[in-house]
Structure 1
């Protein structure tokens, strides 16, 4: 550990960013940097601990919720629940200024409440929504923007896979994180719909005219297709807030409920069920490999004393808490332009979280702040994943249209993140009420 300091830590971080920029897998990049630091400064015992750290990181009851929530989302998609939900929302939201554009946002919010992944939300809603706009005169850029921007809600509205990982890495209550994400998620949904309505009121041509108001009887019948995802959200989140189940146990209940819904709609074949399992294994393996590598890197950094050294350095700068948070906002905003969200989160938590703790910042609040920064990264070029997912579903045209279409929603995300810094109660009010 002799001779190791902040400059060496900065070099290690730069190497990791370089490996990621070169296309090396996130988990491999973090593991290599961890092994390099262990080899140069700690010796063989710390290298031999690699396997133990990997096992310890993944042997977690909390992380068991990840594959369960992924499977639940897949069952809802393959079972036709999402498609019915989108059609039902179109009946209710279509008459608003902006028409079906609001349906994209509302469907993203509802699917987020049973999915936990923004990328999955973008792919699912994009696949369901784009055919509905084929013969309508909506502005193409705004259509794409509502899908890519609305899909960012996937990791903010609980359940959220990113919150599970953050909770596991920082020993923060996932239940509190879920509660903290509800109000910002609802506010952000409202902001997205408000900016869409405002744009369409100022420039009616963007929406190509309002959708016709459906008869009351048809709208009431459509509620039957909205009830299942809403009920699923209530069951999953209600069991956590009522103290009847942990997040992992509630995820298991959610899988059973999603399976029953898919069977009731008679859309789930054996082949589709096998596809659900295959996707779950693939996505979960990718996520947990990254988490395991991050835990090992955290282990090495902890022994080397990097978090303590960085905490002392930052606090010696004399920054106030608000100034520090604005600096952190700028740091993540730039980093999100070049890193995928999961790698950005797990790669910086070992370094940033000890400093956050030293400033006395609530770990639940910081978890929501970090998720908000991940949302920004999802629609920030050149690496914004939602941009490429929507472009891939679209299968044609320039990605520039997707980027331009997301700008109003990017502005709303920035505004809410800054409001979160100014008014922490936006995130902390509900968990303080629900768990105290």
Structure 2
């Protein structure tokens, strides 16, 4: 059997395993190990597994993952996410659709601490859905806005998606973080605009919330200052050159733990549980990365990346046309595969083509991560939709999927804007480097 045929069969087997809900890491490990064994021998597969596991486990750059995850877990446990939502609630809650807009703003702020879309959707769903129910919000709008708002967690830094992309493509984590700031804010603005349009067309979908006095607004904003300070300290520190991304993660995690200790909201039991959850999540990410370093050599040995690259270049499309084809593939795969699985599976194939075409890898990273976000709310997988379903079990799954449609379209519009104007993504990292 030829190397190309072996590689093709390996990809087919991998997709089947993923569709059967085999954990991503185990599926990639099995296919990669078996493929290398077939194309070379079992000794080579064993040697690669040992060397790559040690190399990844000893990589200092990966410390950023558990630190940012810990920061988000502690922030959620100490109520910092609630304070941010309350501040947005006090400012915009009294306008039509204001509670939905406050949810999006809260998701954006929490994303800047957790770096996780699932954590953002789960946390803000628990905080905001009951409040929107109290004011008789349309179920499609309330659940749709939580599912879509949670996707900000993978774009607004610190983003686990950017960290994985940086490791797989050997790009700068700091530059990717900075590249995600303006697109993240643009996407947040697009979501708020979508809410305004929905409430304009269907006024009953998002009734007005309670009015608040200036003193109440001031108290709510003051309550959110700790979380805003941590965000400015970490992201601003990276932008100002005070911290590396790893140092910023350590500073941020230390700051939220210190805040929890000073305010007596963080007991040893809560800290232990947050640390335990962080270890479990980090172990999951590490297993995926180790598996990625098993399947990538298999794909290289099978010449699949070369074959696909030559096929794309053979279409003789423009650079923009080839980029559109690649992103279209991500959009389709996002309907069936989990985001990390898509990154690990496709980057070894598409990234060489991107480099050959002279596409900026940082800009491409932002486009890919945004496309992954769209997969988080696309049927039939739509991970964030199922997360919201777990928080609001009485709402039919179909209603939640219908509720995310306007926000999916807002994400598509944002993606097109980022393609048309690359400097939205590249302005901050280029400024930092200069």
Do the aligned residues in 2 keep the contact of 1:79 with 1:263 (CA within 8 Å)?
no
Aligned to 2:79: 80
| Distance of 1:146 and 1:263 partners within structure 2 | 33
| Distance of 2:124 and 2:57 partners within structure 1 | 31
| Distance of 2:307 and 2:400 partners within structure 1 | 42
| Distance of 1:298 and 1:389 partners within structure 2 | 31
* Offset at residue 432 of structure 1 (A): 1.3
1:162 correspondence with 2:173: no
Aligned to 1:107: 106
Do the aligned residues in 1 keep the contact of 2:306 with 2:349 (CA within 8 Å)?
no
* Offset at residue 306 of structure 1 (A): 3.4
| Distance of 1:37 and 1:314 partners within structure 2 | 25
The equivalences for 1:29-108 within 5 A come to 29-49=27-47, 50-108=49-107
Aligned to 1:430: 428
> TM-score when scaled to structure 1?
0.96
Do the aligned residues in 2 keep the contact of 1:31 with 1:297 (CA within 8 Å)?
yes
Q: Deviations over 1:156-193 (max 9, x none)?
A: 11110110111111110111101110111111111100
Aligned to 1:230: 228
| Distance of 1:143 and 1:264 partners within structure 2 | 35
Q: Deviations over 1:64-104 (max 9, x none)?
A: 11111110001011111111221121101112331211111
Do the aligned residues in 2 keep the contact of 1:144 with 1:405 (CA within 8 Å)?
yes
1:183 correspondence with 2:179: no
| Distance of 2:37 and 2:24 partners within structure 1 | 20
| Distance of 1:427 and 1:38 partners within structure 2 | 38
Do the aligned residues in 1 keep the contact of 2:6 with 2:302 (CA within 8 Å)?
no
Moved more, 304-313 or 15-24: 304-313
| Distance of 1:279 and 1:233 partners within structure 2 | 22
* Offset at residue 295 of structure 1 (A): 1.4
* Offset at residue 304 of structure 1 (A): 4.2
| Distance of 1:114 and 1:392 partners within structure 2 | 23
Q: 1:292 aligns with which of 265, 284, 290?
A: 290
Q: Runs of 5+ in structure 1 lacking a partner?
A: none
* Offset at residue 48 of structure 1 (A): 2.1
| Distance of 2:345 and 2:199 partners within structure 1 | 40
| Distance of 1:344 and 1:304 partners within structure 2 | 19
| Distance of 2:301 and 2:239 partners within structure 1 | 37
* Offset at residue 223 of structure 1 (A): 1.3
Moved more, 383-392 or 55-64: 55-64
What secondary structure is seen at the aligned counterpart in 2 of 1:220?
Answer: helix
Do the aligned residues in 2 keep the contact of 1:46 with 1:300 (CA within 8 Å)?
no
Moved more, 377-386 or 43-52: 43-52
What secondary structure is seen at the aligned counterpart in 2 of 1:376?
Answer: helix
Q: Deviations over 1:273-327 (max 9, x none)?
A: 1210111111111111011100121123334443333323322221221111111
What secondary structure is seen at the aligned counterpart in 2 of 1:172?
Answer: coil
Moved more, 39-48 or 83-92: 39-48
Aligned to 1:322: 320
| Distance of 2:281 and 2:249 partners within structure 1 | 16
1:197 correspondence with 2:196: yes
1:279 correspondence with 2:282: no
Q: Runs of 5+ in structure 2 lacking a partner?
A: none
Do the aligned residues in 2 keep the contact of 1:63 with 1:165 (CA within 8 Å)?
no
| Distance of 1:250 and 1:380 partners within structure 2 | 33
Do the aligned residues in 2 keep the contact of 1:81 with 1:261 (CA within 8 Å)?
no
What RMSD in Å do the two structures reach over aligned CA positions? 1.5
| Distance of 1:11 and 1:357 partners within structure 2 | 27
Aligned to 1:145: 144
What secondary structure is seen at the aligned counterpart in 2 of 1:312?
Answer: helix
What secondary structure is seen at the aligned counterpart in 2 of 1:101?
Answer: helix
| Distance of 1:219 and 1:367 partners within structure 2 | 38
| Distance of 1:216 and 1:261 partners within structure 2 | 26
The equivalences for 1:212-251 within 5 A come to 212-251=210-249
Do the aligned residues in 2 keep the contact of 1:106 with 1:189 (CA within 8 Å)?
yes
Aligned to 2:349: 351
* Offset at residue 134 of structure 1 (A): 3.2
Aligned to 1:376: 374
